[in-house]
Structure 1
Amino acid sequence: MRTYQAEICLNERAEHAEGPVWDDVRQELLWVDVYAGLVRRAKWAPPRLLPVRTYSFGEMVGAVVPCAEPDDGWVVASELGFARLATDGAARKLTEPERGRGTRMNDGAADPRGRFWAGSMAHDVTPGAGTLYRLEGAEAVPVLTGVTISNGLAWRTPDEFFYIDTPTHRVDLMTPDGREPAFAIDPALGAPDGMSIDAEGALWVALWGGSAVVRFSRDGEVLARVDVPATQVSSCCFGGPDLTTLFVTTSQERFTPEQSAAEPHAGKLFAVDVDVAGLPVDRYRPEGEAS
């Protein structure tokens, strides 16, 4: 098994950094600070990220994806649903299917057809209270209900994707015929959170509570491990000019002041060069979106 060591690439601490995405058009990293309601952009100047701009969304935000046309800005999994974020920072809500449910939106990603998918979870992590949605125009279409912590999404084909509902300790495969387990993850490794897929079809899964990102084959064999000096590893993505840099987000969610002091790197961003490339990000295409 290959082992890597992630290094700090942004020394600023977020409360809960999540959802990194490499924008290959702008050559920037995007990510969110969930509870602070921030969408962030930074240039990669190895070994550091250089902040470009921070957008204050005004409410919690779970994920962000660039639009196919850069001037169209971004689509966001906002606190209660879906929204658009313009390049000047103006936000426009599209739909809020989670309003009044005691829930918030969490992880999300675009698919190869340009549709945006994102899922929800209860604030108190009530089992089964979350829903995975697909944004169609300005409508959030429920695709999967009864999930607890809707997390990582990674497409195998335009019609098949891998999906994580964290408490199951599994990666599932979603196909037009339904949902089936792809492989289980040993709880001793940590809880599966965000993930990314590489050019060889292997999955890089962030392990919350496990201080690592682990590369798994499609049948669950451990192929490589990235050690991260923070316990709560939330997500990862491939980036850089040749897509061989793995960016990793971490969190100090629900830390006491004592825990935060004991883990001084929690909430920072990390990077490591790996020996396999990732895939370009799938970008959101808003055809048919209501005006």
Structure 2
Amino acid sequence: MTELRTWLTGLGLVESPRWHDGRLYFSDWTAHEVIALGLDGTHEVVARVDSLPLCTAWQADGRLVIVDSARGLLQRLEPDGSSTTLADLTGLGRGWNDIVIDGRGNIYVNRIGFDMLSGAAFDPGYVVHVGPDGSARQVADDIAFPNGMAVTRDNSTLIVADSYGNRLLAFDIEADGGLSHRRVWAGTGEDHPDGICVDAEGAVWYADVGNRRCVRIREGGEVLQTVEVDRGCFACTLGGQDGKTLFIVAAEWRMPEMVPPGTGQVLSTRVTVPGAGWP
């Protein structure tokens, strides 16, 4: 049994873990907060946004970008603590979910194609690219339920977790940020991959809510390692001083309340291969 460390408890629906500048950042969707956790155990709220989903990514210059899904905006935290609008996505729809920013500054945001919580009819989702001037365009479509995203360390490939499709999709990243050569990077069997990250060997870790685990998988589908947890795993990321700490955000999941208050946790375990790429 994998040894897990518990960092924080009593949280809500926790998502979007990101390792940045010596701390773990994650979102508590229930509390509408972005929280930073230090390796000494101290933590603080760095942003409050009344949105669900509430995902984040870091630009190369150290500014935090937040998906304000409720208003259809990308917001950026400035050094003085103020917030500015980086892009307006309202013309491309609602229901924005995950975000990743690669090493060249390309911003990718995905959208769920239907309102799952209201019982709306299924409709596939898509991915948009946001340029440096804030312009946004659709670059991939027909993804059953786009969830976590990651970019490989060489900036060549965007990987998207398709939760309803039980698979990880891959796209080549073109010079202008467009996507091409769509393919199935790996099937995940009965697992529904949620948040993902990439390691230095090119393998992907994905979190699975229903099966309460995180799985390391190679391109083509070979399972390399599984970490079992006592509650749903929403996302994971690699970080720590040597990049070999797998941080997991997890919570109980049951309908209709989704995540019972106070069941969210931040966990971690040690692994042998460090993180690479983005996030």
Q: Same fold (TM over 0.5)?
A: yes
Spell out the pairing of 1:1-291 with structure 2 (5 A cutoff). Answer: 4-14=2-12, 16-23=13-20, 25=21, 27-45=22-40, 49-70=41-62, 73-79=63-69, 80-98=72-90, 101=93, 103-121=94-112, 122-124=114-116, 126-136=121-131, 137-156=133-152, 157-175=154-172, 176-187=179-190, 190-230=191-231, 232-252=232-252, 255=255, 260=260, 266-279=263-276, 281=278
Counterpart residue identity of residue 143, structure 1 = V
3-state DSSP class of the match of 2:260?
Answer: helix
Figure out how many residues of one structure are paired with residues of the other and give that number: 265
Aligned-residue offset at 1:162: 1.6
Distance 1:107 1:186, change over 3 A: same
1: CA distance between counterparts of 2:199 and 2:27?
Answer: 22
CA distance in 1, matches of 2:205, 2:258: 31
Deviation at 1:22, TM superposition (A): 0.3
1:198-230 CA-to-partner distances (Å, cap 9, x unmatched) read 111111111121111011111111111111121
**Closer, same or farther: CA 259–29 of 1 in aligned 2, 3 Å:** closer
Assess if the C-alpha contact under 8 Å between 2:57 and 2:64 holds in 1.
yes
Task: Flag the 1:35–1:99 CA change in 2: closer, same or farther, 3 A.
Answer: farther
Quick one: distance in 1 between partners of 2:213 and 2:51? 29
Looking at structure 2, the residues matched to 149 and 168 of structure 1 have their Cα atoms a distance apart, in angstroms, of 7
Distance 1:77-1:258 versus aligned 2 partners, 3 A rule: closer
Answer yes or no: is the 8 Å Cα contact 1:62–1:108 preserved in 2: no
Query: Where does the alignment leave 5 or more consecutive residues of structure 2 unmatched?
Result: 173-178
Distance 1:90 1:218, change over 3 A: same
Question: Does the residue aligned with 1:11 lie in a helix, a strand or coil?
Answer: strand
- Segments of 5+ residues of structure 1 without an aligned counterpart are 283-291
Identical residues among aligned pairs (%): 23
Q: Which stretch has the larger CA shift, 236-245 or 82-91?
A: 82-91
Tell me: CA distance 1:129–1:69, structure 2 relative to 1, closer, same or farther (3 Å).
same
Shift of 1:182: 1.7
Say which is worse superposed, 250-259 or 161-170, in terms of deviation: 250-259
Amino acid at match of 2:211: G
The CA distance in 2 between the partners of 1:89 and 1:99, in whole Å, is 28
Compute the displacement of 1:17 (Å).
0.9
Kindly state the Cα deviation for residue 99 of structure 1 after the two structures are TM-superposed.
6.1
Tell me if the contact between 1:36 and 1:60 (Cα under 8 Å) persists in the aligned partners.
no
Look up the equivalent residue of 2:216 and give its one-letter code: R
